[in-house]
Amino acid sequence: MRYVSTRGEAAPRGFDDVLLAGLAEDGGLFLPESWPVLTVAEWRALRGLPYAELAARLLHRFAGEAMTLDEMRALTTDAYAGFRHPAVTPLVQIAPNQFVLELFHGPTLAFKDVALQLLGRLFDHVLTKRGERITIVGATSGDTGSAAIEACRDREAVDIVILHPENRTSEVQRRQMTTVLSPNVANIALKGSFDDCQDLVKTMFLDAPFRKEMRLAAVNSINWARIAAQIVYYAYAALNLGAPEREVAVAVPTGNFGNVLAAWAARQMGLPIAHFIIGSNRNDILARFLAANDMTARDVEPSLSPSMDIQVSSNFERLLFELMGRDGAATAGLMRDFRAEGRMPVPDAAWKKARELFTGFTLDDAGTLAEIQRLHRDAGYLADPHTAVGTAAAHALWSDRKMPLIIAATAHPAKFPDAVQRATGIRPALPPALADLYERPERFTVLPNDLGEVEAMVRAHARRNAVPA
C-alpha cells in the first residue's frame, strides 16, 4: 500500500512513513494511491466480529507490508481493551430507522479516543522498530488534544505539544489536557481561534529545517492513520444494521471534516453508505458550500459546540482532491487561493459531485438547546451539544426515510454539563475515573499567535525531554 499527496508533488510512500510524517512536504494530505475495495462476500464475512478484530482486519489493508495482521491485531486489542462499553462503539436507537453511534466510551469521553488510542500504539510500534523518537505537535478545538495526550502520555519515544484556543473550549475539555502533568506533555493556550492554532501547526510542518530538527509528527486528522482508524466504526455500525445487503446513511456533526471523511472513505472501500449529512453550528462554511458553492471563510464565532468552531476544514482537501479527479496541481491551486483570499472557487462540476452525496445542515445555539431538550423528552436520550446537531439534522431531514441512518454521537454529555443542564435541568456526572477532574492541578502556557514564540516553546520542550545521545 502506497500513499500520495493531494497536491501531487511529494513522493509516494508507505504506511509507516505516512504515519510519522502526517503532512506531506508539499503541504498536502496523504491518501491511498488506490482504495482497497472489499467485495460483498468479504464485507459479509466481517459481520459479527468483535470491534478490535474488525479494526485489525480493515486497518491491515491500509498498512500493507508495513505490518503483519498479527501485529495489527495485538495493537487494536490493546487499544480498545480499556473502553467502558464492551461493544466499544455501541448503537442506540432513538427513532424509527435512526441510530446513535456512541463514540465516547474511551478514556477522554470523545470520539477522538477511538482513533488516538490506536495511533499512540502505532507510533510506539514503528518508533521502537526504527530506534527513533518524535515530537508531536497538534491543534485542538477541544477533544483531539485530550485524546492525543491520553494516548501519548509517558511514552518513551514521544514528546507532545498541544495548542488550544484560550477560553474557547469547555472547562472539562481544557482540564482533561492541562491536568496531565507527565514530563513529555506540554499545553499551549493560544490567544486566538482554533483556525489560528491549526494554521500554526501547518506552518511548523512546512518549516522544513524546524520539522527536521524536531522530527515533527501529527495527531490531528491531517494524519491519515487517524482517518483510517475512524473508518472502522462506520463499518461496525453498517454491518450491524444489515450491510452489505442493506444501504445506510450517516449524519455527522463536523468541523474539521475528518469524521465524515472517514465515513466517505468506507464507501470508497465498497461499504453501501448512500448519503452523508454534515451538521454545522453557526460556523457553517461546509453547509454554505453544499448549499451554494460558497466556500468563504468568516471569523470563527464561539458556540455551545466548540469542537465545531472552525472555518478552515483541513480534511475537505482530501475530498476536493477526489472531486477534482485526483488532480494534485489543481487541488494545490485551489488551496493556495483559499489561503491567500479566504475563498475557494470550487469548479461547478466538482461542487455538483459533492451535492450528489452530501447534504449540509446548520443549527444555532438556541436550536442546539432545543434539540437537547426534544431528544431527552422524546427518546429519553441525553446528548451533548455536538451530537445534538447531528440528531437535529436527522430529525429535520431523515424522519420519513426507510433507510437506516447512523448518527455520530461524538462526545459524552458530561463534557458539556452547563449546556445540557440549561436544556434539560439535568447535570450529567463525569464517570468515576474523572470525578476529581475539577480538583486536579493544571499546567499550561499562554502564548500569543506568534510562530516564533510557539516554535521556541516546542523546541525547549522537545530538547528537555530528548533522550541523551
Query: All 3 cell numbers of residue 383?
Result: 446528548
Q: Provide the 10 A C-beta neighbour count for residue 336.
A: 13
The torsion angle over the Cα atoms of residues 75, 78, 83 and 87, rounded to 10 degrees, is 70
- Give me Rg for the CA atoms of the chain: 21
Among residues 112, 129, 202, 415, the one annotated as catalytic is 112
Cell of 1: 500500500
Per DSSP bridges, beta strands 273-280 and 295-296 are unpaired
Side-chain half-sphere exposure of 445, counting CA atoms within 13 A: 17
- Whether residue 190 contacts residue 127, with contact meaning beta carbons closer than 8 Å, is answered with no
Report whether 111 contacts 392 (CB < 8 A): no
Q: Give whole-number Cα distances, 204 to 136, 450, 453, in Å.
A: 11, 11, 12
402 is catalytic: no
Cα separation, 429 vs 166, whole angstroms? 25
DSSP string, 426-448: --PPPPGGGTTGGGS----EEE-
The residues annotated with a catalytic role in the active site are: 112
